[in-house]
Chains A and B, each alone.
Chain A
């Protein structure tokens, strides 16, 4: 079959591009304070916080939504 237009055959290949270098402020989570509410996981525009609340700094752009939405202030934004 002829393909018309551009095709990308590797799903999710944008992961090859690390956006972590965009960051000025880095979120640091204090897991002792974390109450497992999932707010940061749900609201992350990159989807780069996993179920164990590990933040993937390869992609985190440092927007700070996680820190802002944490109900117990367990995430601090620190300058890189």
Chain B
């Protein structure tokens, strides 16, 4: 795949060293190109890219509130449409908190109304911007500041909310999962989302050095481990047709992924086994 050279996110942004979100946004914008308007929900990305009076965005960008990225994107899309501008991409970037919890109703509405927008959820599996509080997308067993492990608890006790499938249930034309560690797969999906007439949703898995607790140099490696262990599955649903887009050659034990992060370090064998069984079950269904 020919990868455009141009960058639409400037350096100097205040992301942590080794940030996965900025990698995802850079890659997505390369595919979307300059004829794009971006919308952000409140979250890491908003805070690190727009330290007023500076901005890292080289394309028009707007932020309103935490809960309404999809509603703002809907409005931008309709405004452009009424001006007769049909060749402009409207993309919303929101974190897992802004998607799975706080922004879910606005997102559901936008999907239902069928706006021609691309919604990319960069999922680092907790509220990292405010100090690692759990979100609906926090996986089972993860220790966060609001689901801490200790004598009484092994961390988050609920499974990760399956947002891409909730989006698919809206019957939108394009839904995909992706990972920053598989850039060609991700960029291909962004390209398809761009070409889709109607709402497109991409759920981008993105390791977070600060919240997950690992060395910043391992961001890509962690994302890869999530996929290679079957903890995160890369698929797309085009007009209701489900297809796995990447299958690991040989699935690694989930332990390899869990043990390389501080947030899972406390887990006892019993919980690890429960996680492995859960992953096995999903992978068996999908023949991974």
Which residues does A use to contact B, with CB under 8 Å?
6, 8, 10-19, 22-23, 38, 42-48, 51, 56, 58-59, 61-65, 67-69, 77
Interface check B55, CB cutoff 8 A:
yes
B217 touches A14 (CB 8 A): no
Contact partners of A11 in chain B: CB under 8 A: 10, 55, 57-59
Contact partners of B57 in chain A: CB under 8 A: 11-12
Cross-chain pairs A/B with CB under 8 angstroms, 13 sampled: A8-B50, A8-B53, A8-B54, A11-B58, A12-B56, A13-B55, A14-B49, A17-B12, A17-B54, A19-B11, A43-B23, A43-B180, A46-B11
Minimum CB distance partner of A8 in chain B? B55
A51 touches B5 (CB 8 A): yes
B220 touches A15 (CB 8 A): no
A14 vs chain B, min Cβ distance (A): 4
B11 touches A48 (CB 8 A): yes
B219 touches A65 (CB 8 A): yes
Whole-angstrom CA separation of A58 from B12 in the bound complex: 9
Which residues does B use to contact A, with CB under 8 Å?
3, 5, 7, 9-15, 17-20, 22-23, 26-27, 49-59, 180, 183, 209, 215-221
A65 touches B216 (CB 8 A): yes
Minimum CB distance partner of B26 in chain A? A47
A33 vs chain B, min Cβ distance (A): 18
B24 vs chain A, min Cβ distance (A): 10
Whole-angstrom CA separation of A65 from B222 in the bound complex: 11
Contact partners of B10 in chain A: CB under 8 A: 11-15, 47
